[in-house]
Amino acid sequence: MTHSVRAAVLTAPGRYEVQEFPKPELADGALLMQVEMSGICGTDKHTYAGETKQYAGTPAETDTPFPIIQGHENVGIIAEITPQAAERIEFYGRTLKVGDRITHCPDLVCGQCYTCKHVMGYVWFDNSECYGNSLTSANAPHLLGGWSEQMYLRPDTFVYKVPDGLSPRVAVLAELMACAASLDKLKEFSSYAIEGFTSGDTVVVIGSGPLGLLHIAKADMMGAGQIIATDLSAYRLDWAKRCGADEVINVSTTNPEERIDRIRELTAGRGADVVLHMANTPKSFIEGIEMLKRGGMMLEMGNFADTGEVALNVHRHICSKNIRLIGLTNHPSTGYGPALRLLERYSDRYPFEEMVTHTYGIDQAGQAMRTSMSPDSMKVAIVP
């Protein structure tokens, strides 16, 4: 009898089905991972809601295909591996074997386009393919997302061996922590006077979900002088304090003017040096600019999917304030090694082990998604 693998399949926005697929034959250089845990990302929520367009206006523009197995924040154990993969698929050149715990970059690059050849680390490729986001389960090998008992990792996957000291509950945060390499990008600008992110700066983080929390922790590691977090949820603001925020502002009990005034009050009237916009809505984008000092820098990373437009006054918000606006829609493949080391090194300082607050099985994918949208959850994960 042919071995089958169960997976939660999103057949259309808002609708999951548990389906069975044949266990795939491995191409030379591929491996099969027994999934231990797969996190629900903000992009998964957008896809569930029918907001499926990513990389809009670029050669990489995509609309998520249905049916699809979601899940691109994955950690698992190697169940099967081909000889070529054992020697070549690990990003840092380490030999892999059955039983090793691994994670992987969700993005599959062509290696041939202009961006692949000119941008170090960041996967801004023209021919977008991504596990759990753009690879349909309708075609073999089917198992191309983490909400499955097993996952097929192609030979062109960036795979990373997880340090022995990291549990699956922490290793599942690797992709998000790799996203926090954005702060290293901002640090590059600090060679210019009063630009970029430097030690002692005031950093405002708008949106204290899992992505925002890891940016708070990373900013704290990198020497931020004052970290201010905002969110709609008091529960998440408590998490922000645990991850290094000095001040928190509840968006549910304040208006934009009050929040902007509070930032000025905390910065001697100047405004924040850096604003990190981690909210998955454009509604607070202009507010973030208003919180900046003149010459400040804002990072936009929250709106990975196309969530609509906001009105912007070019003179007031860009030119007059002399701001530096950085948009990042991805993380660097080179960021996983540092991310895993930071998660291990600072595990006694930040509550990484507790950040996965809810877990659900494959047959509970709908409930898992609804919980992830609750203000009283942090990282929600599927455990096949």
Quick: pLDDT tens for 138-173.
999 999 999 999 999 999 999 999 999 999 999 999
Distance from C-alpha of 364 to C-alpha of 115, rounded to nearest angstrom = 39
Residue with tokens 């040096």: 273
Q: Which band of pLDDT confidence, cut at 50, 70 and 90, is reported for residue 121? A: confident
Q: Is the pLDDT of residue 340 over 80?
A: yes
**Mean pLDDT within 343-357:** 97
Tokens of 54: 């990513």
pLDDT at 231: 98
290-313 residue pLDDT tens: 999 999 999 999 998 999 999 999
CA dihedral 359, 365, 370, 374 (to 10 degrees): 20
Q: How many CB atoms lie within 10 A of CB 294?
A: 11
Identify the pLDDT of residue 127: 83
The 10s digit of each residue's pLDDT in 45-100 is 999 999 999 999 998 899 999 999 999 999 999 999 999 999 999 999 999 999 99
The contacts of residue 256 (CB under 8 Å, 6+ apart) are: 287, 290
Strand residues in the chain grouped as ranges (E): 4-12, 15-22, 31-39, 53-54, 62-63, 73-81, 101-104, 150-153, 159-161, 202-206, 226-231, 247-250, 272-277, 292-300, 324-327, 356-360, 379-382
Give pTM, 2 decimals. 0.96
pLDDT class for 248, splitting at 50, 70, 90?
very high
Average pLDDT for the chain: 95
State the average pLDDT over residues 327-351. Answer: 96
d(CA 237, CA 247): 9
pLDDT band at 190 (very low <50, low <70, confident <90, very high): confident
- Which pLDDT does position 1 carry in this prediction? 37
Question: DSSP string of 41-110?
Answer: PHHHHHHHTT--EESTTSTT-EE--SSB----EEEEEEEEE-HHHHHH-BTT-----TT-EEEE-SB---
Whether the per-residue pLDDT at 115 is higher than 90: the answer is: no
pLDDT over 90 at 202, yes or no = yes
Q: Which of 22, 368, 307, 346 is nearest to 213 (CA)?
A: 346
* β-sheet bridge partners, residue 297: 274, 324
Asked if residues 378 and 141 have their Cβ atoms less than 8 Å apart, the reply is no
Percent pLDDT > 90 in the chain is 89
Q: What confidence score (pLDDT) does residue 2 get? A: 56
Sign of CA dihedral 352, 358, 359, 362: negative
Q: Hey, what are 317's tokens?
A: 């918000």
Q: Which tokens hold the place of 345?
A: 């090194």
Q: Do the beta carbons of residue 275 and residue 301 sit within 8 Å?
A: no
